[in-house]
Structure 1
């Protein structure tokens, strides 16, 4: 049973709180809002008696003691008890209502049925933050075990991510009691009818790749012409997602092509990203060691955003130095930029969508914070400026030797050869040759 409003809950070192209202329920238990005496609100997950085993208590206590890998995880903060009740629970931060379950991205509506307007930049942020978050989790020797739509929430405006239901998390030691969610489980888990193959970091990487494919292409990597036939029963699931999964965009097989929507989105993105998904769902489908790592996904998302440009017709496209002849899907014009910014090994296409970020300045950085933004000249097409959005002044040197100091919130013109010192990094503008 759920806890009545007003019930006093013992949160150990956090003190005592009272139940304010029921927020929801699931198979394992109930989620309540509780308030501490000073007014802070938290979410309480309270287990049903049949789920409140001693093993579950010790696993949750261990997660509390380990602490959260990152603030994106709605991590257990403290265990919770109620006098006279045989069950238990734990508290975590409340999830802000602006965050939607990731399945809303596919439906393209919010909770009220209002159409969403999620930008490519926000989708890239979703993917990068997911990869970064699970990298942090795996670096602690933990695995999530149940990566799926229901456990990931996103802010449609920014792409910021929250990862919920962290009582799925456990040590990557092959002792999991959670197998995962159908359609997201790794093939080796699906096809093992003895249930001896258990979730791990390797199976998390498959589930993460499925989630990223959904976010970018709006479909499942194994669903297509082959899976359209037959009853969607246990035998269908076993064959198409366990014993004989076929990537819907397999480079050497065309018997499982996906919907036109998935194929259209596939064509939007550069070859390097397509190659990663081929690696994930062809080479990596039966060889877990060849699955794409979280760090590889992060680098790919950085490269993808570096090549994001706005065509003169207003359509967002993706240019890449390895494919300089890429064209706009709407009007056919070349997406080749006139200028690029070189930051270390990174090449950032200059366009109205270009931003200079912390991950340019510190390769592999977990956070991706905008520190500068490219601005088009308000009257002259083809002239660009760089606005300093950081809190420190930058020193710029033009090719002729002229030096300027770019104060925060000020903008300087970008021309061929100008070098801008941003912290310990140097950003160089270079004119490109037409594709």
Structure 2
């Protein structure tokens, strides 16, 4: 394969072409170049060792079908075979997005828990839509994500290995992220994707790998046989409820040791269930993406701004702030079906899964003992008092936080304010 240089023109299958500007980076599979397409900046992935014709045909089909969601830096154009290789064109990664590995190494950190939960929600939603489109990703790992630390927005890259469910790309994935059955030699599918998704989410929240505890630390050298053992035949969650032989090690796994008790019990219990030996052996019982979304919503609903230290905190049964340890003093919540969204001044509320807050709790400037729920969405709400009086709450307007007031958000979500 000839490497490309500035000024080279690469023909596309649609009859157009891109002009090479400069190299942006390279990996084991290919080189990424900054290119111009009709005056617009794009990225071209150019393969070092071009895969076979079936891979090329699958890329062509993916271009035609289009991206499942805006989370994917999806192949937009395919090049003709030329200069001993081929490649595909995708959107250029914008400024302000950093590789997931930077967060694991503490080179970057989320601005807030809200941003972290937004990233988790965007990842889950992206893979839910991918699977609904009939695809499986097949090579899900920490190198597939660029994340904005300020708002948690996520871009999913390296989508050239995406295949229709039941077909194989020839790429098995990375051992640390592969499901045990794939390590043993099975073909990747949406069920193995879901395992890899659980691993990614665990690492997002706890910044450590879910299967790398005392057993892995004691490994003299990570050979292929040890990889097959620790991530395949003898895979063991570091917080397995029945086997404590792979617990995190003090001084080595400090991230997960510190964060494990910080997040609500519902998250810990979910990972213990998802990574239990029973679940590990039953791929089709793995947690669906939409159930992860429900869990993330539950975490959001318990995330408030502490009125004492003004920091974000998850509130559990003891009602204490995890930062200052004072009683948060939650005096009201928004009941929406099985969800209970806690209300404190400064807290933003997410009614749906779109990662954009719909309302914010504020102090009534005329009566500091009262709270208001402010509409920060683009849509009007309807508020109904216990006596049946209706009020339309326009964007940037407020409704009082009073017991029994019912709010209909965007004609879809019905909630009721409950004071304690």
Question: Aligned partners of 1:352 and 1:250: how far apart in 2?
Answer: 38
Q: CA deviation at 1:17?
A: 2.3
Q: Give runs of aligned pairs for residues 94-133 of structure 1, distance below 5 A.
A: 94-110=92-108, 116-133=109-126
Deviations 1:264-305 (A, max 9, x none): 312122222222111221132222122211111111001110
Change over 3 Å in CA distance of 1:315–1:250 after alignment to 2: farther
Is the contact made by 2:361 and 2:373 (CA closer than 8 Å) also made in structure 1?
yes
1:370 aligned to which of 357, 369, 386: 357
1:46 aligns with 2:46: yes
1:296 aligns with 2:299: no
Is the contact made by 1:80 and 1:88 (CA closer than 8 Å) also made in structure 2?
yes
Q: Which moved more, 1:54-63 or 1:214-223?
A: 54-63
Question: Aligned partners of 1:131 and 1:42: how far apart in 2?
Answer: 26
Is the contact made by 1:143 and 1:204 (CA closer than 8 Å) also made in structure 2?
yes
Change over 3 Å in CA distance of 1:223–1:377 after alignment to 2: farther
Q: Which residue of 1 aligns with 2:239?
A: 249
Q: CA deviation at 1:31?
A: 1.0
Q: Which moved more, 1:265-274 or 1:154-163?
A: 265-274
Change over 3 Å in CA distance of 1:231–1:353 after alignment to 2: farther
Q: Which residue of 2 aligns with 1:31?
A: 32
Q: Which moved more, 1:389-398 or 1:237-246?
A: 389-398
Is the contact made by 2:315 and 2:321 (CA closer than 8 Å) also made in structure 1?
no
Q: Which residue of 1 aligns with 2:213?
A: 224
Q: CA deviation at 1:354?
A: 3.2
1:103 partner SS:
helix
Q: Which residue of 1 aligns with 2:323?
A: 330
Q: Give every structure 1 segment of 4 or more consecutive aligned residues whose post-TM-superposition deviation is greater than 4 Å.
A: 377-382, 400-403
Question: Aligned partners of 2:18 and 2:369: how far apart in 1?
Answer: 60
Q: Which residue of 2 aligns with 1:389?
A: 376
Q: Give runs of aligned pairs for residues 185-224 of structure 1, distance below 5 A.
A: 185-190=178-183, 192=184, 195=185, 197-224=186-213
1:273 partner SS:
helix
Q: CA deviation at 1:97?
A: 2.4
Q: CA deviation at 1:392?
A: 3.6
Change over 3 Å in CA distance of 1:377–1:91 after alignment to 2: same
Q: CA deviation at 1:260?
A: 4.0
Q: CA deviation at 1:399?
A: 3.5
Is the contact made by 1:319 and 1:336 (CA closer than 8 Å) also made in structure 2?
no
Change over 3 Å in CA distance of 1:18–1:398 after alignment to 2: same
Q: CA deviation at 1:358?
A: 4.7
Question: Aligned partners of 1:21 and 1:389: how far apart in 2?
Answer: 42
Q: Which residue of 2 aligns with 1:416?
A: 403
Question: Aligned partners of 1:395 and 1:130: how far apart in 2?
Answer: 32
Q: CA deviation at 1:129?
A: 1.0
TM-score, normalised to structure 2, is 0.91
Structure 1 gap ranges (5+): 111-115, 360-364
Deviations 1:10-69 (A, max 9, x none): 2233722211111111222211111123x1111111122x32432221121121122111
Q: Which moved more, 1:412-421 or 1:149-158?
A: 412-421
Q: Which residue of 1 aligns with 2:336?
A: 343
Is the contact made by 1:306 and 1:354 (CA closer than 8 Å) also made in structure 2?
no
Question: Aligned partners of 1:392 and 1:120: how far apart in 2?
Answer: 26
Counting matched residue pairs gives 411
Q: RMSD over aligned Cα, in angstroms?
A: 2.2
Is the contact made by 2:119 and 2:153 (CA closer than 8 Å) also made in structure 1?
yes
Question: Aligned partners of 2:395 and 2:67: how far apart in 1?
Answer: 34
Is the contact made by 1:176 and 1:198 (CA closer than 8 Å) also made in structure 2?
no
Question: Aligned partners of 2:367 and 2:246: how far apart in 1?
Answer: 49
2:260 partner SS:
helix
1:43 partner SS:
strand
Is the contact made by 2:31 and 2:47 (CA closer than 8 Å) also made in structure 1?
yes
Q: CA deviation at 1:117?
A: 4.5
